Amino acid sequence: MPKIIGQNLADHRQQIRERLFTALGDLLHERSFQSLTMAEIAAAAGVGRTAVYNHFDDKESLLLAFMSYETRRYSSHLRECLAGIDDPLQKLRVYIREQLILGATYHLTPETNLRQQVSTRTIQELSSHGHEIENVLSHILEEAMAARVIPTHNLMVCISLVNGCLAGRRMPSDLEAREYLIQAIQAFILRGLGVAASAAPLPDARAILGHPVAITQSPFAPAESDAALTMGICPVHQPA
């Protein structure tokens, strides 16, 4: 009989599942989902090759549970960050910041386009996982429109364009450079939604970086750079 991890059987099952989720997330940073096997995921999690099937019938069942788990974690974190903020523009800034640093904390790596690697049925189920996050943005935008700090727009168009601006950006690992870029993207999105320039100022490069940044100078980390973190929207909701 396998050794029980945790206080009881329920705790044991949850810890095993979390091990498998962590292993899958780590492996997705290195390889395509199609190339992975259940045996490899189990080995990376330190779980017996046959024991993994006590928790998931197949690889796509594991993926669905993993995406649901990561979405719940991120949704909870995002709501905590937004708690106590009344200004809808500040809420938008927080949403943008948290989406940009998503990849640093959660396993929803935007470099993995899962829509091209799983069955149509799984895609349909995966696509529903992001609705909770989209609802958060939708409510923020509705508040901003009601407060007349942005013009009235079609919400679905706004959500698509905002998330499109955030997907898969390569953020510098240097903290000051990353902060400058986050503030620049915040200003761009807010202005694009119709916020006045005075309410969405560009970041002060001298104050943040200690030197000016030319308008032709890219603040993004190059794709081949080791000093870069790819961050942004999850692999299901990124642009195709």
**CATH code, domain carrying 12:** 1.10.10.60
Q: Which domain holds residue 36?
A: 1-56
* 140 and 207 housed in the same domain: yes
| Residue 239 is assigned to a structural domain of this protein | no
Task: Clarify whether residues 133 and 217 are in a common domain.
Answer: yes
Q: At what angle do helices 9-28 and 38-45 cross, to 10 degrees?
A: 110
The rounded Cα 20 to chain-centroid distance in angstroms is: 19
This prediction has a pTM of 0.76
- 159-204 confidence digits (pLDDT tens): 999 988 887 677 888 899 999 999 999 999 999 999 999 999 999 9
All residues at 6 or more sequence positions from 78 whose CB lies less than 8 Å from its CB, including other chains: 95, 98, 133, 136
In a domain, 64, yes or no: yes
Q: Do residues 22 and 77 share a domain?
A: no
Tally of domains in the chain: 2
- Cα separation, 67 vs 122, whole angstroms: 11
Best mean pLDDT range from 50-54, 202-206, 220-224: 202-206
Residues 13, 75, single domain; the answer is: no
Q: Does residue 237 fall inside a structural domain?
A: no
Co-location of 68 and 50 in the same domain:
no
- The radius of gyration of the chain's CA atoms, rounded to the nearest angstrom, is 20
| pLDDT reported for residue 228 | 45
Q: Does 26 reside within a domain?
A: yes
* Whether residue 66 has pLDDT greater than 50: yes
Instruction: Kindly state whether residues 10 and 123 are assigned to the same domain.
Output: no
- Report yes or no: 110 and 229 within 8 Å, Cβ to Cβ: no
How high is the pLDDT of residue 240?
A: 39
Scored b (16 or more CB within 10 A) or e, 151-190 reads: eeeeeeebbeebbebbbbbbbbeeeebbbbbbbbbbbebb
- Is 236 a domain residue? no
Dihedral of CA atoms 44, 14, 131, 139 in degrees, nearest 10, equals -120
Task: Kindly state whether residues 92 and 131 are assigned to the same domain.
Answer: yes
Residue 2 in domain? yes
d(CA 90, CA 134): 17
**In terms of domains, do 68 and 51 share one?**
no
pLDDT in tens, 147-167: 999 999 999 999 999 988 887
> 173 and 218 share a domain?
yes
Give me the phi and psi of 231, to 5 degrees please.
-130, 165
Q: Is 208 helix (H, G, I), strand (E, B) or coil?
A: helix
pLDDT digits (tens, 9 = 90+) for 92-131: 999 999 988 875 555 554 445 566 666 666 666 666 666 7
Residue 17 lies in a domain: yes
pLDDT score at 84: 92
- Most distant pair of Cα atoms in the chain: their distance: 66
Q: What is the mean pLDDT of residues 223-239?
A: 46
Instruction: Identify whether 164 is part of a domain.
Output: yes
